[in-house]
Amino acid sequence: MTLNGILQIAFYLAALTLLAKPLGAFMARVYQREKTFLDPVLGPLERLIYRLTKISPDEEMDWKANAVALLIFNFVGLIVVYLIQRVQQFLPLNPQGMAAVTPDSSFNTAVSFATNTNWQGYGGETTMSYLTQMLALTVQNFVSAASGMAVLALFIRGIARHSAKTLGNFWVDMTRSTLYILLPLAIVLSLVLVSQGVIQNNSAYVSVPFLQSTTDTAGVKVTDQVLAMGPAASQIAIKQLGTNGGGFFNVNSAHPYENPTPLADFLEMLAILLIPAALCYTFGKMVKDTRQGWAIFAAMMLILVTAVFWMYSVEGSGNPKLTALGVDQQSTSINPGGNMEGKEVRFGIPNSAVWATVTTAASNGSVNSMHDSYTPLGGLITLIMLHLGEVVFGGVGSGLYGMLIFVVVAVFVAGLLVGRTPEYLGHKIEAYEMKMASLLILIMPITVLVLTALSVVTAAGKAGIMNPGPHGFSEILYVFTSQANNNGSAFAGASVNTPFYNFTGGLAMLIGRYWLAVPTLALAGSLVKKKLVPVSEGTLPTHTPLFIFWLIAVVLIVGALNFLPALALGPIVEHFMMMQ
Amino acid sequence: MVTTSTQQLRKPLGLNGEMFRRALFDSFVKLNPWSMARNPVMFVVEVGSVLTLALWIQALLGSGEAPAWYIGFVSLWLWFTVLFANFSEALAEGRGKAQAEALRRSRRDTTAKRLHSPKRSSTFDVVASPQLQKGDAFLVEPGDIISADGEVIEGIASVDESAITGESAPVIRESGGDRSAVTGGTRVLSDWLIIRVTAEPGGGFLDRMIHLIEGAKRQKTPNEIALNILLAAFTIIFLIVCMTLLPFSLFSVEVAGHGAPVTVTVLVALLVCLIPTTIGGLLSAIGIAGMDRMIRHNVIATSGRAIEAAGDVDVLLLDKTGTITLGNRMATEFTPAPGISKERLADAAQLASLADETPEGRSIVILAKEKYGLRGREIHEIAAHFVPFSAQTRMSGADIQPEGKNGKRIIRKGASDAMKAYIEQQGGVFPAAVQQAVQEISRVGATPLVVAENKEVLGVIHLKDIVKGGIKERFAHLRKMGIKTVMITGDNPLTATAIAAEAGVDDFLAEAKPEDKLKLIRDYQKGGRLVAMTGDGTNDAPALAQADVAVAMNTGTQSAREAANMIDLDSNPTKLMEIVEIGKQLLMTRGTLTTFSIANDVAKYFAIIPAAFATTYPVLNMLNIMKLATPESAILSAVIFNALIIVALIPLALKGVKYRPVSAVQLLRRHLLIYGVGGVIAPFIGIKLIDMLMVAMKLI
């Protein structure tokens, strides 16, 4: 670790914290349907949308109607994305003449983008036409993110209200999330990224002669390289802001056309956590107790800071096997030092370490370095961040509602510890809430473990494993961990664009998204009906440092305990082998 | 003749050898899978025990996955785990059972003199108590136990009801009126009674108590259900974790190219260690023990739900008289009328009160004696005619003929309005200063008594409600726990305000009528609060039925006792506070053991994971930070620790976590430190010690 690196990381975390309040306050106004400075421009547009879609914005719905709306909307989106991929060869904006995507890959990608996962079994520049990228993928980048934010808004109202029935209107929350939050931020960020050199065009790919020709593996002489083109900036801004993470190009934000400069890198990293962090403040605002929002923010931030610096330290210290071979891995002013395999020199260790941690903490999944090439401990950290259930800021909306589920569990046990039926913000936590919360913490580990087990014992599963030993195991574990958590980042190194992985992965993504969103709404539906339990001296405050640490402990214990045996057979044993 | 009855309740049955033997036997009976299935955590352990037993038999037959002694040893300790959990439950049940048994025996062993006709002169048969039918008449004489609940139809007798009420002073029971009801299990001390049985056999008060002690324990409370769901979720997750570990291990052996896959025995051992067996095994014992603690405080709860609700109560409605204040007012001061000396007033007041046997009257005599040195004259020393209090005159006093003097001294004391009318009727003047003093005394929450001699007003006696000692501190504790206290009184608001301030209650309801009480409870409940109250009268019944936690005094009427969800045998209104504490203790014990149980898993991972994959990845031994001797000893130590910790925690489960009146944050910090951090550390030490012991004994 260098001082320079530490300062860069500190600057990043400080910028994130400073932006949380203003953006969070703005989003609270959006969800409470209060006036914002964007109303003169977007108000008429919003009303037009409601008129065209025959939505009555003042009509509120209970949790079931909202859950149905979410499922219908996402299902339609999924079908559209699938169909566009299947017929892209007949559609315009296809200068490279991309063929129809295979059915299993189309299914996987459609699920992936509708669920805000953005797992990519395909390579963008070799598979998708510009129209598919824009109309299918970018559109889903907006609305899948907005869906998650809408579910959160509904959930927060469940907590903010008492003795009520309705949670709000999914259609309105979804529309307002897109119009007032995602769209303006994405436009601004796209323009800034274009200024940094991110491309935005509909041109055919460009062929450029090599300065020095080379030969390929077959011994054929290669004199030209093909540079992929396309409308990248507009997709990249939203893929970062909406914790989607699906790159325009195969190597995602490691590609110079996606992420050309340190400033672009900084802004893209900031965009990953911007909305999830600000939503904590939104939550506090909406429940009329900003301390509650800050407490959750603090719990998330403490886990993140620990993970980021742990990551920086392990990646910065490099590989002892290489040190033994006389490789200089010391950080100096002219040498980034540490483990640079799979990392871009223009970002170096600190910015790669932050990105890798942040992208797995949030359910973003975009990368600027290859996680497969991290040291075993570095890989372990990305896996742990995923295994915590994407609640360290997590996906837009989904991260916070995931964390609130952990809060429910933490409050329940803490309530017992102080001898009082547990309550959170005036809602009694009873058997039904525990049933839903238990379901929510059960689903993800079961999905990941069962599908990983299936893959390591079947021929179709084992076919995708390309690395020997425990590393191969880590790769498969990562595949399902990433998809079941709707993260979408790839450890890479496994060959997973096969019918087996496309199907099982699609399943994991669907379960990870909807099996969690629906019980979450059910939980909100139960909370909203409860009578307000007034605060008294006997009420356990949920904003104190003690509670924050307890919440962190619950998140770590529930996350870490489930996966420790699997991790022992993957990155942990790999680390010990490397140390030997 | 057996003299025991509910007295058994009063002296808690200690754990004796018989109870241990019985609990041991029951631990095996409880292995029945149908009853085990009620507890998902322990059911999984039992299935694991059966599975390892089968693997052991397979190994004995020569084709085992591991040495037979090793599988057998693991299996044995898994069975112990189940048995220990069963034992804790059986032990907790044992106390209640023994108590109910003692009560039942007392019913069986008594006999009744059943009369052929309900007359003293009638002949009778001696029959066993349970044979009495509703409508039968029976005779009780000194020393007899009353065999059944009934109504006195003839006679008057003093009855010792201490078995039921805890009050040692005998009470009078006689035919007709309010004092005609008798309870089975109480004893006649003098005279005789003829009683008509009013309860069906088995339907009497004592029978209901037996039923409550035995029956209420099996219902799960709402909180217990919620906790069970969480524990079931943990169990399912760990089941999947262990099941998927087999394919993971197969794959690892394949890629490592050496070693053997993890054995089923080890997977079962890991599973049992990971699932929350500590809390799962003790959960039911905790609930039963909570019930038992209530009984030992002489409170019978009709359901576990009521006990749990007691821990959540945020408002306590307390009757002023008897709970907050001593039942009686006491004289504290004499305020003379203008021109009258204090001594004269005190003397007259004392004379007027000599024959007054009420506590107020006695307190006047004592005050006069203590403050003005007036000796308490005996009634017969002076020629006096005493006028007792009557509802018509609302006055009492004495007419005294002083020796050697003419003219009677007619001394009266009474409420100011009655006295004013009396004085004015005689042509006297009620001085304005006295009127002012009366108002002054009322304003501070006391009762003024005006004293007059002939037609002259002498002054006012200040009768004050005496707030019980230490009650203010208790209310402060309750406030710290987040519980609001509300005083209910029939006094006027002025008086109520003063007493409320002195006692330190948060609020009060003055001039309360029963329907006001009901409304107050409803209002609090509408605001989301849980309300507890005590009551004894029939007019309390609606409010008792409405309150979340309703404690009826055992001396109360039948309808009050039926409307309540708890009955306090001591009829002590302050018991409510102890009930709240017991409720909190119950939840805390569950919470602390849950935290402890889950925190234990960390160490168990460190013991088992390196051992489970020792042949595939020997390098994982770096995780063996406890330096356990061999893979076998590591797994056995973890399993043994897991089983023994249940036994070690049985006393805590039965006794409950000590309650402390501190704020929620302080309590959470304390419990997280002890049971959370302690729960992480303890098994590291325990497992290491067991491992060292096994090595020392050359078992490994």
pLDDT digits (tens, 9 = 90+) for B188-207: 888 888 998 887 777 776 77
Catalytic residue among B319, B356, B536, B540: B319
Residue type, B354: L
Q: What is the mean pLDDT of chain A?
A: 93
Least confident stretch, A37-41, A174-178, B243-247, B404-408: B404-408
Interchain contact, B237 vs A562, CB within 8 Å: yes
Return the pLDDT at B306. 81
What do you get for the CA distance between the two ends of chain B, in Å?
A: 61
> Would you state the pLDDT for residue B379?
60
The string of pLDDT tens digits covering residues B564-606 is 888 887 777 678 878 888 888 989 999 999 999 999 999 999 9
Q: What is the DSSP string of A319-365?
A: -HHHHHTT------SS---S--TTB-TTTHHHHHHHHHHHHHHTT--
Mean pLDDT to the nearest integer, A342-366: 92
> For testing the chain B interface, which of A405, A420, A476, A539 should be mutated: the one with the most B CBs within 10 Å?
A420
Residues of B whose CB is below 8 A from A418: 584, 588, 591, 664, 667-668, 671
Tell me the residue type at A430: E
Residue B168 has pLDDT above 70, yes or no: no
The yes-or-no verdict on residue B683 having pLDDT over 60 is yes
Q: Which of A430, A550, A576 sits opposite B619 (nearest CB)?
A: A576
Query: Mean pLDDT lowest for which of A6-20, A159-173, A446-460, B533-547?
Result: B533-547
- Of A146-150, A338-342, B102-106, B611-615, the poorest mean pLDDT is in B102-106
Q: B484-493: b or e for each residue (b if 16 or more CB lie within 10 Å)?
A: bbbbbbebee
Segment B515-540 shows an average pLDDT of 83
pLDDT at B143 over 60: yes
- pLDDT given for residue A217 in this prediction: 87
Q: Do B226 and A431 touch (CB under 8 A)?
A: yes
Query: How much is the pLDDT for B215?
Result: 56
Identity (one letter) of the amino acid at B398?
Answer: A
Nearest CA in chain A to B258: A469
Is the pLDDT confidence value at B11 over 60? no
Q: DSSP assignment of B303-338, as one string?
A: -HHHHHHHHH--EEEEEIIIIIEEEEEEEEEEEEPT
Please compute the mean of the pLDDT values over residues A52-79 and round it to a whole number: 95
For residue B382, pLDDT over 70 is answered with no
B417 given a catalytic annotation: no
The pLDDT value given to residue A311: 96
pLDDT, position B5? 38
Give A-chain residues touching B308 at CB under 8 angstroms: 421
In single-letter form, the type of residue at position B83 comes to L
Contacts A441 to B, Cβ<8 Å? 233, 237
CB contact (8 A) between residue B617 and residue A573? yes
The pTM for the full model equals: 0.86
Instruction: State the average pLDDT over residues A138-166.
Output: 95
| Element containing residue B172 per DSSP (H, E) | strand B171-174
Quickly list DSSP for B546-606: HSSEEEEETTS-HHHHHH-SEEETT--TTHHHHHHHHHHHHHHHHHHHHHHHHHHHHHHHH
Q: Which residues does chain B have within 8 Å of residue A423's beta carbon, measured at their own beta carbons?
A: none
Partner-chain contact B672 A417, CB within 8 Å: yes
Residues 6+ apart with CB under 8 A from A54: none
Are A573 and B249 inside 8 Å of each other by CB? no
Tokens for B439, please give them: 């108002």
Please report the pLDDT score of residue B380 as a whole number.
Answer: 61
Residue B7 scores a pLDDT above 80 = no
**Closest Cα in chain A to B598:** A557
- Measured on CA atoms in the order A176, A179, A181, A182, is the torsion positive or negative? positive
B39 CA: distance to closest CA in chain A (Å): 16
pLDDT(A88) > 70: yes
Rounded mean pLDDT, B609-617: 92
Residues of A in contact with B528 (CB under 8 A): 162, 426, 531-534
Bridge partners of B411? B398, B453
In the predicted model, what is the mean pLDDT of residues A484-497?
86
Of A456, A553, A564, the CB nearest to B251: A456
**If you measure CA to CA, which chain A residue comes closest to B622?**
A576
Q: Which of B7, B202, B216, B190 is nearest to B107 (CA)?
A: B202
CA distance B230 to chain A (A): 6
- Nearest residue of chain B to residue A534 (CA atoms): B528
Across residues A454-467, what is the average pLDDT?
90
**Side chain identity at B674, as an amino acid letter?**
I
Cβ-Cβ contacts under 8 Å, B485 against chain A: none
Contact B66, B265 (CB under 8 A): yes
| Residue-level pLDDT at A150 | 97
Res. B29: pLDDT tops 60: yes
Q: Do the Cβ atoms of B312 and A550 come within 8 Å?
A: no
Q: Give the highest mean pLDDT range of A501-505, B366-370, B539-543.
A: A501-505
Worst-scoring range by mean pLDDT, A37-46, A172-181, B691-700?
B691-700
| Confidence (pLDDT) at B575 | 81
User: Do A431 and B314 lie within an 8 Å CB cutoff?
Assistant: no
pLDDT band at residue A249 under the 50/70/90 scheme: very high
Q: Is the pLDDT of residue B166 over 60?
A: no
What pLDDT is recorded for position B162?
A: 65
> Residue A168 gets which letter from DSSP?
B
- Per-residue confidence (pLDDT) for residue B9, from 0 to 100: 43
Residue, of B265 and B503, whose pLDDT is higher: B265
CB contact under 8 A, A469 and B223: no
Rg from Cα positions in chain A = 23
pLDDT at B201: 75
Which residue in chain B is spatially nearest to A461 when comparing CA positions? B251
Contact across the interface for A531 and B584, Cβ inside 8 Å: no
Nearest residue of B to residue A443, measured between CA atoms: B237
Of chain A, the percentage scoring pLDDT greater than 70 comes to 100
- From the list B222, B312, B479, the residue facing A431 with the nearest CB is B222
Residue B58 or residue B164, greater confidence? B58
Q: Strand, helix or coil at A482?
A: helix
Partner residue facing A418 (CB), from B529, B586, B664: B664
Ramachandran region, residue A441 (left: φ > 0; alpha: ψ -120 to 50; beta: rest): alpha
Residue B400: what pLDDT?
82
The whole-angstrom separation of Cα A320 and Cα A329 is 9
Condensed to tens digits (0 to 9), the pLDDT of residues B457-493 reads 999 998 888 887 788 888 888 887 778 899 988 777 8
Please check the confidence at residue B13 and state whether its pLDDT lies above 50: no
Give the span between the Cα atoms of A349 and B554, in whole angstroms. 76
Q: What is the mean pLDDT of chain B?
A: 84
**Model pLDDT, residue A349:** 92
In this complex, do B250 and A416 lie within 8 Å of one another by their Cβ atoms? no
